[in-house]
Amino acid sequence: MSLPVVLRPAADADVQTAHDVLNQARPGSGARFVAQLRRVLERIEALPESAGVVWQDVRAVRVKKFRYVVYYVVLADRVEVIAVFHGSQDATGWQSRV
């Protein structure tokens, strides 16, 4: 079952912040992060229920080679990404977005 993936505005802002932070630390790493994130989103689109549920109906999948996690919910007609958080961030930050 393939479903379109939509980033909520807060998740989109998370991606931009991660891109900027990574580029400041190492030029070019922001673009590599976005490329890996696209792969994750394509996988979620193709198999939205393949990742495990981590809280209520929220699923999570890690971005390879980066310590970021994509948190999302599967709805009847789409997948909504609610957050893209660094693994060390407090979970209550993304949980408050549900």
Beta strands 68-74; 79-86: pairing state: antiparallel
pLDDT digits (tens, 9 = 90+) for 82-98: 999 998 988 788 888 98
* Domains (range + CATH), the chain: 5-95 (3.30.2310.20)
> pTM score, two decimals?
0.95
Say if CB 90 and CB 97 are below 8 A apart: no
Write the burial class of residue 61 (CB in 10 Å: 0-12 exposed, 13-18 middle, 19+ buried).
Answer: middle
Angle at 4 between CA 33 and CA 78, to 5 degrees: 115
Say if CB 82 and CB 97 are below 8 A apart: yes
Percent with pLDDT over 90 in the chain: 87
